[in-house]
Amino acid sequence: DTVYSLRIIPFGGYVRMSGEDPGKDHYEKHDFLAQPFYKKITIVLGGPIFNLIFAILVFIVAYSAVGYPVIPITKIARVEEGSRAYFAGIMPGDSIVEIDDIKVKSWDDFYGEYSRRDTNVVKIYRKGQILSLVLTGKSSDSLGIAPYIPPLIYKVEKGGAAWESGLKSGDLVLEVEDESVNSWEKFVDLIRSHPGESLSITLLRGKDTIRTIIVPRLVELPDGSKIGRIGVLLPMAYKRLPPLMSLKVSLVKSYDTTVLLLKYLVRLVRGKSSVKNLGGPIMIGKMVQSSREYGLFNLLFLIGLISVNLFVINIIPFPALDGWHVLIFSVEAVRRKPLSSSIQTWLQLVGFAFLIILMLLITFFDILRIIK
């Protein structure tokens, strides 16, 4: 029989199986601890593995059915000196028309073909002429170009720094701190490099010039670096991937996210990152709400990321998590006898207590962020 229940602290769900408590003198044939090693491992890892499978499926739907955002621009804003593009003769202001006889409609189209081979023939539009240029070298080398994107605000995240400062969709950024802004790249660089600082920003709204103050919110990246963020989006188009390609991209995205999370947890344990940067149920709710405003792809992508998070957290060998059970069963298989039930129970209680305290602490910081 299966019994369902709701608990006072809704911090997650769990399954309590028959015969799960260690230390009994006798277990029934169907009890969990009476099962052979491989069955126990399969049962314990079932949850995390299905979290990962669900994430991959969500990513596939996002990439193949909904489509992912791409920059619908092929005009070049900047060319780095000494890069592949520089030696090929590409110049700022050029617009990419074709690469290897394949027409290019977005920046993503160009990079998708560029990365396939080491030598590319690129057709560019320059001052009324179509020129053919050859990119040589390894595709893994820096191409050294950035797209020209006008600093036009497409969407403003509700509750973000830009929203609080009165920025609106359709605003054109003219200046930040009296420094001229002529591209989206320049705008982003200025915002990212001034986290937590008051910045004067000049906008063109219709025919009116508006000046306001904005304070980019400090965001710590997984590598420990800190940047400013105001919550705005640039104009985007959406591109759907074929099913097989979306499967490949989804697998790569799940793997990359898993590695990134594990690296962040290592930084957390070493004290190189703060628990203040973690988000709990409240922050997840706000992120889901923001993702809905930015479109279905962003919402599905966030759901996939949350599922990968659950997979990673649950495979950690920490008391009360699935990874801990895998570790215990593996040790018992090597020793050929069970560990002390009293020690297991004590460690489980310590683990549960730590996780509850951690979740309360994370929720506290979530509330603080909202108040601020």
Give dist(CA 298, CA 180) in Å, integer: 31
Nearest to 107 by CA among 58, 143, 135: 143
What is the pTM assigned to this prediction? 0.66
Q: How confident is the model at residue 228 (pLDDT cuts 50, 70, 90)?
A: very high
- 334 has a pLDDT exceeding 90: no
What integer best gives the mean pLDDT of the chain?
Answer: 84
Each residue of 117-155: pLDDT tens digit? 778 899 999 989 999 999 887 655 678 888 888 899 988
Q: How confident is the model at residue 179 (pLDDT cuts 50, 70, 90)?
A: very high
Determine the CATH number of domain 83-147.
Answer: 2.30.42.10
Nearest to 124 by CA among 152, 138, 150, 145: 145
Within the chain, which residue ranges are assigned CATH 2.30.42.10?
A: 83-147, 155-235
Q: Return the sign of the alpha-carbon dihedral for residues 67, 72, 74, 75.
A: negative
Each residue of 301-318: pLDDT tens digit? 989 998 998 899 889 888
Helix, coil or strand: residue 134: strand
Asked if 243 and 61 count as a contact pair (C-beta separation under 8 A), the reply is no
Q: How confident is the model at residue 285 (pLDDT cuts 50, 70, 90)?
A: confident
Q: Which fold has domain 155-235?
A: Pdz3 Domain (2.30.42)
pLDDT at 98: 92
**Token digits for 109?**
């189209």
pLDDT at 202: 95
Q: How many residues does the chain have?
A: 372
Considering only 156-160, 178-182, 289-293, 329-333, which range has the smallest mean pLDDT? Answer: 289-293
